[in-house]
Structure 1
Amino acid sequence: MSAAVKYTLGRIGLFVVVVAALWPVDMDIFLKLILALLFSAALSFFLLKGWRDEMAEEMAAAAERRRVEKERLRSALAGDDQADGATGDRPTDEKG
């Protein structure tokens, strides 16, 4: 399972747990939801640190792969890529 999915499900789970803990408290439902959002965000900062770091690493690796691929494509379009053994000359399409 992706780290982003685990972290997202963890955040949602914490929110649900805090809402359930606040449910018996006698206050407005919107105030309960706001408090649950704040408390779950604070708890996730500490409890989900490992998953958050794992997700950040996955995102950084994906960004690096995209950067490398972008550079490879740019060099290929510029004619700098000689990986396929071509001389860089493009075939001409002569119509007669």
Structure 2
Amino acid sequence: MVRRNAHTAVVTVPGSGGKVVNGEWVNGESPTQLEVKGHYDPVSNSRVVIKVNSQGNEKEVHGEFYTRAKAVKEASHLHIDSIGIDVDIISWEQYQSHSVIYV
């Protein structure tokens, strides 16, 4: 059985922009950072995985981060300090027992 190392990743969820209320600008929420545990698998060169990002564009997946945390569709960035990963998220998909962050 393959032994996998657990990593702690920081996922950034952008805050909402500001809006005008009663003729005055009100600042929106600041970005939120979530800490999730899981494991990272780089995608090998022998297979090409294409996912659609939040803007509807098709992107090639270079890595997958598996976690038990619930998916947050608005998440935009993944940072794993222990292995030097700092990339934008293509999509975060929820399955029955886990979720996968595609980067």
TM-score by length of 2: 0.21
Of structures 1 and 2, the larger Rg is shown by 1
Specify which structure has the bigger relative contact order, considering alpha-carbon pairs within 8 angstroms and separated by 6 or more residues. 1
**TM-score (ref. length: structure 1):** 0.22
More helix by share: 1
